[in-house]
Structure 1
Amino acid sequence: MKARYVIALCCAAVGLSGCALPQVQPWEKGQLARQDMLLQGDALGTRFNEHIYASKEAASGGSAVGGGGCGCN
């Protein structure tokens, strides 16, 4: 019975040891601001995808955070 508690405690210690939030240091922010680190990819590919979306949905815009259109999707 005591061995179960020891094993559970060890498993919890191993599982919780990786729960640290990474901190971005000031000298690392220049690397994160590079063009190739953007989440949206290249501008030409984004414009192409927006054109395809607008052609299929018969609406323009709405790909940003604010949204747009009728909202029926």
Structure 2
Amino acid sequence: MNKVLKLIFNNSKGKTSVITLHNPKSVDADTAKAAMQKIIDANIFDNAEINPYATIVGAKYYETQSTPIFDAE
């Protein structure tokens, strides 16, 4: 099973921006919020028109499972 953590933000124009982290550690809500706030505060994305990570929306874990049909030999 593959697990990802999606950090969900709104950009400065109100549209959704997502950062996807593969194979994340388990974190609680406070830790996720603190990390997301650091991303916002760092303001390292150089785009004069839009700040891609302006406000926090939420964070979610997603798990996917694959079932092989066959393996080529």
Mark yes or no: TM-score above 0.5: no
Structure with larger RCO (C-alpha < 8 A, sep 6+): 2
Larger radius of gyration: 1
Higher percent of residues as strand: 2
